[in-house]
A and B are shown apart, each in its own frame.
Chain A
Amino acid sequence: MPDHQANGVKSAREDRFQGHDYYNIDALLSDDHLLARDAVRNWVKQEVSPIIEDYSNRAECPYHLFKGLAEIGAFGPSLPEEYGGGGMDEIAYGIIMQELERGYSGVRSMASVQGSLVMYPIYRFGSEEQRRKYLPKLASGEMIGCFGLTEPDHGSNPNGMITNIKEDGDHYILNGAKMWITNSPVADVAVVWAKDEEGIVRGVIVEKDMPGFSAPEIHGKWSLRASITGELVFEDVRVPKANILPKVKGLKGPLSCLSKARYGIAWGAIGAAMDCYDSALRYSQERIQFGKPIGQFQLTQKKLAEMITEITKAQLLAWRLGTLANEGKATPAQISMAKRNNVHMALEIARESRQIHGGMGSTNEYPVMRHMMNLETVLTYEGTHDVHLLITGLDITGLNAFS
């Protein structure tokens, strides 16, 4: 019998997660926020936790969760109800992302992409016809969407993109390729950013059955294994002019979508961090070494105390950012700071938590290493850790380190 079982440590396969709120931040939240949090937390415990280790292990996407995410209202919760959204505020959106990522970063990605990167640009920059055509179906999960900005040779520098559109009568001819696109192999629609003949970035809605459009899957990831990622390849794809997003020109279009998604990630990372802390805290009380729980050793307490301190700081950052976002005052640079800080915080906590769990932390008996591997990706997607630092640098010095 393995040592940990002899000591009475239970498997984490049963999701025993409890939220952590050291500074009583719940008091800053409304009833709606708390109801939304408990609803999504319950949904994750019922639908995600029991299956995610298995899907993750097999590197398979649990597609059926799209339907469940739509049913609980995780797609576009802050968009108006008339388009299928939830009419909630930005803090509610953040809390939903936190709870989804508590279960699995890839499930949060499903909702982030659908809501912030597909529904949001169609709502914000689309025509009324486009809103009516796509948003209710995206909200209900009848359609899956993806977002194409990053290219094989242009990641942190999206302005260098080579994907382009050329006018041809009442169509645009789209050529180019996009890379690292969450959900692309299963998407019904893609919001794609491409340069027009004047070199101005425009958004177009590409549908999966348009000839010349393909979305091959990217295999071999050691991270976000239960999330499907692919490319978008466009070879003379004829996109009707009615599919261009009329209300935006230039990089601010895709960047404003990324701000929305990064905002959600700043909250989401707290979920992953709380799950790792929660597991470590429980394990440290159950695991006996040298005749006492390892939580009684000073070095374990240091790790745990620093974890809850960092989680508390991240929660306050997210709450304040959410309050600013509700007032329409959150700047992209403020969002960068929160995304960068919180994801790095979560990754560090995952690593420390893994140490507390010892060898068991590397197995799928506990959620820790799974979170850690996912967070390694979250650290660089939606703007790398380094680039977000330089955004803060630019914001405070006025000097651009990118050019």
Chain B
Amino acid sequence: MKLLVCVSKTPDTTAKIAFKDNNSAFEEDGVQFIMNPYDEWYALVRALEVKEAVGGSVTIINVGPAANDTIIRKGLAIGADSAVRIDANPQSAMFVARQIAEYAKGEDFDAIFVGKETIDHNGSEVGAMVAELLDQPYISFANHLELDGKVATISREIEGGVEVAELEVPFVLSAAKGLAEQRIPNMRGIMMAKRKPLKVVPPTAFEDQAVVVSYELPPAKAAVKMVDPENLDELVRLLHEEAKVI
């Protein structure tokens, strides 16, 4: 199986979020970046498990600047065989999907794995766009994958149940919790990662049709009001007049 895993860089979950340039861009200064957990914990690890079971290779791909090499190295340390970085600042999901599809066209991957979403923009768009651009089937939010030769059985949670699909390679899937379990890279893997190939590819020209105009932070949380347990009338009054929920 020749597998491609798309990995994104996202701010650490504890990062303080701020914007710059008139709220039109994310302030990256002082922010710790990590590999998007859905890409790392589920998409990459499941791809590695498939490779370990049936042989083949796992390549990771990232669209981003040279600073992203750190998270790419982590993917190699966890076990990917090689990496490709499309050397561009990603502007939108469409831009990223175009670059990935363009690269994948010439490579004949049996399957392409993405995380179900990034934990920053939460777009859940790239996987579907890549599948469409490559004219391949797409299963989103996969939490179980079995492969029997060229036939894949993939489960995904739906409202109140589970949907099971059967399809042949090649396909694109987006990985949800449950598809695999997080792997921590070991020291040997970290050192081996330095010797694995990381190819840098120039981007394909593409003009975005939509641009982000501005970002806004959610409103600050109001202070908690403590109500004396004896004073239920006051609680009801506050819920009615201030919170306006009853």
Contact = CB atoms under 8 A, between A and B. Distances in A.
A88 interface: yes
A88 B191 contact: yes
Given A31-B73, A35-B74, A87-B191, A42 B186 contact: no
Interface in A31-78: 31-32, 34-36, 38-39, 42-43, 46, 71-74, 77
B194 interface: yes
B77 interface: yes
B146 to A, nearest CB: 26
Residue of A31, A32, A72 with highest tally of chain B CB at under 10 A: A31
Interface string A2-44: 0000001000000000100000000000011011101100110
Contacts of B182: 42
Contact of B188 (A18, A34, A86, A96): A86
B194 A32 contact: yes
A96 B70 contact: no
Given A18-B14, A81-B191, A88-B191, A31 B70 contact: yes
B188 A35 contact: no
Nearest to A26: B32
A270 interface: no
Contacts of A38: 74
Tell me if B's interface is mostly helix, strand, loop or mixed.
helix
Given A39-B186, A43-B184, A31 B69 contact: yes
Interface string B157-197: 00000000000000000000000001011111111011000
A74 B193 CA distance: 17
B187 A72 contact: yes
A278 to B, nearest CB: 12
A36 B14 contact: no
Tell me if A's interface is mostly helix, strand, loop or mixed.
helix
Interface in A57-115: 71-74, 77, 81, 86-88, 92, 96
Contacts of A92: 187
Given A18-B14, A32-B194, A35-B77, A86 B187 contact: yes
B188 A81 contact: yes
A74 B14 CA distance: 27
Contacts, number: 53
Contacts of A8: 224
A131 to B, nearest CB: 18
Given A18-B14, A87-B191, A88-B191, A35 B73 contact: yes
B185 A35 contact: yes
A35 B190 contact: yes
Contacts of A43: 184
Residue of A31, A35, A77 with highest tally of chain B CB at under 10 A: A35
A317 B184 CA distance: 29
A73 B191 CA distance: 11
Given A18-B14, A35-B73, A71 B191 contact: no
B11 to A, nearest CB: 14
A32 B76 CA distance: 12
A72 to B, nearest CB: 5
A18 B13 CA distance: 11
Contacts of B188: 73, 81, 86-87
Contacts of B193: 35
A71 B183 CA distance: 11
Nearest to B77: A35
Interface string B204-224: 000000000000000000001
Contact of B186 (A32, A46, A73, A87): A73
Contacts of A39: 77, 184-187, 190
Contacts of B185: 35, 39
Nearest to B72: A31
A180 B78 CA distance: 38
A8 B223 CA distance: 13
A106 B15 CA distance: 31
Contacts of B69: 31
B165 to A, nearest CB: 32
Interface string A283-310: 0000000000000000000000000000
Contacts of A36: 187, 190
Contacts of A18: 14
B184 A72 contact: yes
A71 B186 contact: yes
A35 B189 CA distance: 10
Q: Which 6 A-B pairs have the closest CB atoms?
A: A73-B187, A86-B187, A73-B186, A77-B187, A72-B186, A35-B190
22 contacts: A31-B73, A35-B74, A35-B77, A35-B185, A35-B193, A36-B187, A39-B185, A39-B186, A39-B190, A42-B182, A43-B184, A72-B187, A73-B187, A73-B189, A73-B190, A77-B187, A81-B191, A86-B187, A86-B190, A86-B191, A88-B190, A96-B187
Given A87-B188, A87-B191, 9 more contacts: A31-B69, A32-B190, A36-B187, A39-B184, A42-B182, A73-B189, A77-B187, A86-B188, A88-B191
